[in-house]
Structures are given as structure tokens and as C-alpha cells.
Amino acid sequence: MATPKALVAGNWKMNGVTENLVEIEKLNDLLGQGAPGCDVLICPPFTLIHQSMQVAGDHVEIGAQDCHANIAGAHTGDISAAMLTDQGCKYVIVAHSERRTDHGETNEMVRGKADAAQKEGLTAIICVGETEAERDAGDALPVVTSQVRESIPAEAVVANTVVAYEPVWAIGTGRTPTTADVAEVHAAVREVLIERFGTEGANVRILYGGSVKPENARELMSVDNVNGALVGGASLKADSFYGIIQAYD
């Protein structure tokens, strides 16, 4: 069965002002030197989405970092999926570990956001991952597979669904997942996706999102069922992000 085309997505988180747009321009220029072997996405903060669209060129897609489950209403400070499509976005990240932790987002809330995004024509990048306590208790696979099952909307299809695995326990702890750790979780996620979508579940992209850098990208991207990366800090600079993308040369 064919492997889905990889996606390397950069999550700028709460970083970036107008002067940082030069990094997107530079990235587009670097990608223009030869067609990348993967799709490339940058998700800047909401304030930069429109400007990012103007400088992204032909080689970089622009997405968003979150959306509300409702299309409109009295939700001060929130952004709806309809607003994102109005700006030209094609993707939106939902359930990033920082949203689950800092904002208490449950699987049910995540499913509502992903559903709203997909109904507006966006591809939802649904993040899953276990904490340090959950991994140490031996609960990594039950936690992650439950998150996948409960976070994907009922009307989701393969074409508008991406899953990103983030080992939360490895963020800022000094602990690093082995390729065997990554392979085990991605294989379990794949089983759930095939259970959910049938044989087409083999075509859902599963991204790895744990401190991916140019130095480890090739090794991580070669792991079975890893179909790209969700990149944090290393996506803020064109050179380092391009170094990760080159894993797919």
C-alpha cells in the first residue's frame, strides 16, 4: 500500500511579529531550489496569518494553531474555523499538548473543534500524546489510542484528518524517546485509524512532534508510520526548518 505524502508542519506557537515574516520568505526561496519531497506548512500566530499568506509563495502553506468549536458567537478573543478559511488557511492544529494542559481541553472539546474545522473545509491536525506520569505508569498506548478514538469527529474523512503524536513527557524533561518508542506509538495509532477508516486508514498522515531538529530528522522520519513532523522551535528559522524538510530529499 502506498505511503501517504509526508507533511512537515511548523508551529510558531506564541512567537513572531511582522519582522519575522522574512523567515517564511527565505524558506520559500530555499524550497524553490528543488521540489521538496513533502508538503510544507507554517502555522504562525493569528496576527500574522494574513501577512504570511502574502509572502509564502508557491511552496509553503499557511495554517492556524487553534479554532473554536462554534462558527460564530459571543466568544471574546476566540477565532472560528470560518474566519480561518476566510483568510485562506487550509490547515488548523487542534489539541496541541499546550492547549490540553494550559486550557484543559478534553477529547470531547477537541472533537468539536476538529469537526468545526473540517466542516469549513480545513484539514485538522489532531494532536495526541501521553504525560510523563502516564508513560511511567505504563499507560502510554491506552491514553494515546483513546485520544485518537475520541478526538476524531464522526464525519471525518481521510483527506481532512492528520494525527500528530507528541510525547509530552519528553518536553523540557531531558528525556528523549527512542525510535522504538516512536515506532510503538505510531503503530498503535495506525491500528486505530484503520479500525476507524478501514483500509483507507493507512493513508492518514501521522506526524511525530517531539523536539524534531535537523540533526535527528532523518532518523525519526524513517520510522515506520511516521509521515512527517510537527515542529516547534526549529520552525522559527528558515535554515533549521529547511534542514528538517531535507529529510525528504
**Residue 119 grid coordinates:** 466542516
Calpha distance 226→213 (Å, rounded): 15
The verdict on whether 166 is a catalytic residue reads yes
Contacts of 101 (CB under 8 A, 6+ apart): 168
Calpha distance 185→162 (Å, rounded): 15
Among candidate residues 131, 214, 241, the one with its CA nearest the CA of residue 175: 131
Beta strands in the chain (DSSP E): 7-11, 39-43, 61-62, 91-94, 123-128, 161-165, 205-208, 228-231
Catalytic residue chosen out of the listed positions 120, 130, 166, 186: 166
Q: Tell me if 60 sits within 8 A of 27, measured CB to CB.
A: yes
Query: In this structure, what is the dihedral angle of CA atoms 142, 119, 77, 144, given to the nearest 10 degrees?
Result: 10
The verdict on whether 200 is a catalytic residue reads no
Among candidate residues 129, 230, 229, the one with its CA nearest the CA of residue 181: 129
Calpha distance 186→206 (Å, rounded): 7
Catalytic residue chosen out of the listed positions 61, 68, 96, 130: 96
**What are the residue numbers of the active site?**
96, 166
